[in-house]
Amino acid sequence: YQYLSRYRRNENLDGFTFVPGRIEGTEKECLECLMEFCGRRNPSWTELSNFTHFLNFQLRKCEKSVFCGPAVGKQFRGF
């Protein structure tokens, strides 16, 4: 939710890193955001769960990648 809500507001995500335990927004806002980005018109709980698990997996990999760090963004603008 931390990434998606910032993306929705067109914020720069290059320097952002997920902070476990940080509470942002309400449960309703989180669910609305997940449903918006899930890609399904009326997703089931299973589809939302699969979407969040896959997204979390991808974002963890991205945060650990040397190619996606803030230093690379400064050197290779637009990369």
Distance CA(4)–CA(11), nearest Å, equals 10
pLDDT for 62: 84
The residues, any chain, with a CB within 8 Å of residue 4's CB and separated by 6 or more, are 33, 34, 36, 37, 55
Q: Residue 9: its pLDDT value, please?
A: 93
This prediction's pTM: 0.75
In this prediction, residue 70 has a pLDDT band, given cuts at 50, 70 and 90, of low
Which pLDDT tens digit goes with each residue over 10-42?
988 877 878 888 888 999 999 999 999 999 889
Task: Tell me the domain boundaries of the chain.
Answer: 1-75
| pLDDT tens string 39-55 | 988 999 999 999 999 99
